[in-house]
Structure 1
Amino acid sequence: MAHPMTRVTAAAVAATTVAGLTAATAGASTAVPTQRGTLVSATHLRTMSAEQARTWLKSDHFDASQVKYGVDTYRLVYRTIDARHRPTTASGLLVLPRNQAKTLRTVSYTHGTMSYKPDAPSVAKDVWGSGPAVTYGAAGFAAVSPDYLGLGLGPGVHPWKNVPSETTASMDMLRAARQAAARHGRTLDRRVLVTGFSQGASSALGLARALQAGNDPWFRLRAVAPISGGYDFKGAELPALLGGKVPSKIGVAYTTYLLTSWNRIHGLYSSPQVVFKKPYAGRVNKLFDGTTRGDVMLKSLPDRLDQLLTPRGMAMLRKPTGRFERALIEDRDAPTAWTPHVPIRLYKISNDEQAVTLNTTHYATWLRRRGVKAPVIDVGGRTYGGSRHLGSNLSGTAQIVRWFETLR
């Protein structure tokens, strides 16, 4: 969860435009070879000195105290598979430190919710989108940040809250990053430090699970540190949303994104009119197809769930059954139903107004039942644009980069 739809409500996002983005990516999934993780292209985006990186990060309230080096940033396009295992392409951001190290410790950072293609890390014009990756890169790590499917230069529509596809996109981005780094005489350490925020917290856990399982012949899991995840949508998030603990407009946006995305993946309803009231039924798919800016999307939706959803739609949320219930269980289990054998820390903020803190409480309990001691780190009370949830990304990233530096 979290990004444009939340940042615009705090008046903290400026709309970005990537010229020709939609046209450039249209049809890009056709005739794609099946070799997952193969690098298609690597585009150098910018070079920053250490001082420039500090100034740039501070301009959007990122902690720059761990900046040691300048960085080079690259947009990678690579081969992967979509949510139905068909060949496609995706994009992501690679940040390499400007130091003399030939072998670079590897960090994977997976981002929070966004619905507009140009907000993704590899194409974002703002600091927020690529700030975490630059934070890790400037500290001396090779930072790998996938855009996910359907965002950035990825064709098609993003399958939001689909951990399996976020996992494959993240794994294949690591493979592509290894190839790109080799072109510059650099080697990525096989032991990956995995982190992510909000939606990306679950994505990080999905990647960590796959790495620990040995799903790649080179990369292995070293540690994992998710931030403010929505790990238990059925048991924590939906009750909070229905109980008024999530700001109403944000709840409307997340609900619309969830239902439209999961309908494409899981087939929840036969037509939007089944769950969405008029006039919203006729616009919801367009609002979340990747071409609508976050501020425009919010203005196009009502303020309350009862204005958005039909009685059947409300009943789905109140008492999930059938395909929706199975999808909720998959969404919970894909990132959490495994036992980490590496150091793991859970980062959260109290009174999180979006990914409510009970999500982290539940996940910590599940880990304890598996015999895993996972410290729960409260990142403090920092806000970003008035949001505690977004503030936890800033504070969590600042704390995690320090922790990762201690792990050898």
Structure 2
Amino acid sequence: MAVSASTSSRGGTRYRSGLGVAALCCGLVLGGAAVATAAPPAAHARAQHEERGRGTLVSAEKLYTLATPQAVAAELGAAGFGDDTVRHGVVAYRLVYRTVDAYGRPTTASGLFVLPLNSEGRLRAVSFAHGTGSHKNDSPSMRRGAFVSASVIAHASAGAAGVAPDYLGMGKGPGLHPWMDVGSETTASLDMLRAARAFAPRVGRVLEREVMVTGFSQGASAALGLGRALQAGEDSWFRLGALAPVSGAYDFGGVELPALFQGRLDTKSGVLYAAYTFVAFNRLHPIYDSPGEVFSDPYAGTVEGLFDGTHTGEQLMQGTPGTLDELLTEHGRELLAHPTGPLAAALRTTDAVCTDWAPRAPVRLYMATGDEQADTANTEHCRAALLRNGVNAPVVDLGAVDYQKSRHLGSNVAATSAIVRWFAELRKP
């Protein structure tokens, strides 16, 4: 496929194929899936990929260059991250690529691709899946000097190729974001890797077969989904090298939802989780016919509109009440506390990210003591499930880390440097 270069309206370089086409960010967690089924056979998955052109590069735009390690350190510092692993300057691109939506229909998505400067031509990719955001701009390719993009930059500045999907409906992707849908998070992540591999030679790089996979919060389960797909051979080139998820809600139905009602999570976070859960799940499953069945007045008439990709985290905070009792009807509370029907079925898929496979690559699970958004029992449940499948996945407790008065957010900051170092150790002969 021929790719031409042109100049964007902001002065950056845009590479386009002939095909054309906020405050809440990352603080919310819940790492799940709503509609995914068991991974298809590898040959069938590859055939679907080839038939639908998944991973085909639509466009690539050069966003910015941080020419020196000092410039990278300043960028990371602005986002509240450390600079102890920085060795290179970096250059960042936004890729737009072909993928499929939650129903398997063709669509497009975007993501951030960051490369180290003055490094070797062959690079190992690190795929990073970000945490929850409410606005389309709460995604790696849309924000710089920000919490949501800092981890990708950190990995690239250490010498890897940083690859970060924005997810469906986020960034430059059309439509609504199917939040907590591990199935589409997985396909968007895998197809972003394919797009990155297609683009890399145009800037003198080649991506190696092994992919190091990590993700935070919502992205922790997305990372496990991608790892599962890579190990299953759903791509003919890429293979799973290691897994390092951070602070996920791996047992969403068994741990995270009960924690909302048992006072183990931050109260306002619980309200936002409950609202997002009902709205996002109902878009893919027949959970309710009318918002009034699960949301109390006056929120029944407004809450769905808050999750349309155009509202900021601050607007969500202002548009929702302070407690679950104010948000939910009696039926809504009962359904979240004791899921049945389509919701229960969806949660079984959500909770399978640690239970239905046995990673053959090294795995570490990262968490923070006293996490106020992702109950730490999620990590213990994941570790126990993997152990039952014969996998020893050590838990790395980062301690009582803090970022903007949040230990949940602090876990991503602390884990990033630790994971960069671990991935580097695994690369040593």
Q: Normalising by the residue count of structure 2, what TM-score does the alignment of the two structures yield?
A: 0.87
In the alignment, which of 161, 180, 187 is matched to residue 142 of structure 1?
Answer: 161
* Aligned counterpart, 1:86: 105
Q: Which runs of 5+ in 2 are unaligned?
A: 1-21, 29-50
Secondary structure in 2 aligned to 1:190?
A: strand
* Aligned counterpart, 2:54: 36
1:218 and 1:99 mapped to 2: Cα distance? Answer: 25
* Aligned counterpart, 2:274: 255
* Aligned counterpart, 1:288: 307
1:307 and 1:406 mapped to 2: Cα distance? Answer: 50
Q: Counterpart of 1:347 in structure 2: which amino acid?
A: Y
Is contact 1:367–1:374 with CA below 8 Å preserved after alignment?
Answer: yes
Q: Note closer, same or farther for the CA distance 1:100–1:388 as it changes in structure 2 (3 Å cut).
A: closer
Give a deviation string over 1:304-353, Cα, whole Å, max 9, x none.
11111111101101211111111111111145421001100001111111
2:125 and 2:99 mapped to 1: Cα distance? Answer: 20
* Aligned counterpart, 1:21: none
* Aligned counterpart, 1:214: 233
Q: RMSD in angstroms over aligned alpha carbons?
A: 1.4
Q: What does 1:371-382 align with in structure 2 at a 5 Å threshold? A: 371-382=390-401
Identical-pair percentage: 52
State the 1:238 CA deviation: 1.1
* Aligned counterpart, 2:377: 358
Q: Counterpart of 2:302 in structure 1: which amino acid?
A: R
* Aligned counterpart, 1:128: 147
Is contact 2:119–2:159 with CA below 8 Å preserved after alignment?
Answer: no
State the 1:7 CA deviation: 7.2
Is contact 1:116–1:292 with CA below 8 Å preserved after alignment?
Answer: yes
* Aligned counterpart, 1:328: 347
State the 1:100 CA deviation: 3.5
1:4 and 1:221 mapped to 2: Cα distance? Answer: 33
Q: Note closer, same or farther for the CA distance 1:224–1:161 as it changes in structure 2 (3 Å cut).
A: same
Q: Counterpart of 1:34 in structure 2: which amino acid?
A: R
State the 1:283 CA deviation: 1.1
Q: Which runs of 5+ in 1 are unaligned?
A: 10-32
Q: What does 1:380-391 align with in structure 2 at a 5 Å threshold? A: 380-391=399-410
Aligned residues: 383
* Aligned counterpart, 1:266: 285
Give a deviation string over 1:88-111, Cα, whole Å, max 9, x none.
000000000002411001100000
Is 1:184 aligned to residue 203 of structure 2? Answer: yes
* Aligned counterpart, 2:37: none
Is contact 1:379–1:392 with CA below 8 Å preserved after alignment?
Answer: yes
Is contact 2:354–2:382 with CA below 8 Å preserved after alignment?
Answer: no
1:183 and 1:125 mapped to 2: Cα distance? Answer: 23
Of 201-210 and 124-133, more deviation after overlay is shown by 124-133
2:182 and 2:142 mapped to 1: Cα distance? Answer: 22
Secondary structure in 1 aligned to 2:140?
A: coil
Q: What does 1:99-118 align with in structure 2 at a 5 Å threshold? A: 99-118=118-137
Is contact 1:163–1:335 with CA below 8 Å preserved after alignment?
Answer: no
Give a deviation string over 1:164-216, Cα, whole Å, max 9, x none.
00000000000000111111120011100000001000000000000000000
State the 1:5 CA deviation: 2.4
Is contact 1:231–1:336 with CA below 8 Å preserved after alignment?
Answer: no
2:164 and 2:26 mapped to 1: Cα distance? Answer: 20
Secondary structure in 1 aligned to 2:52?
A: coil
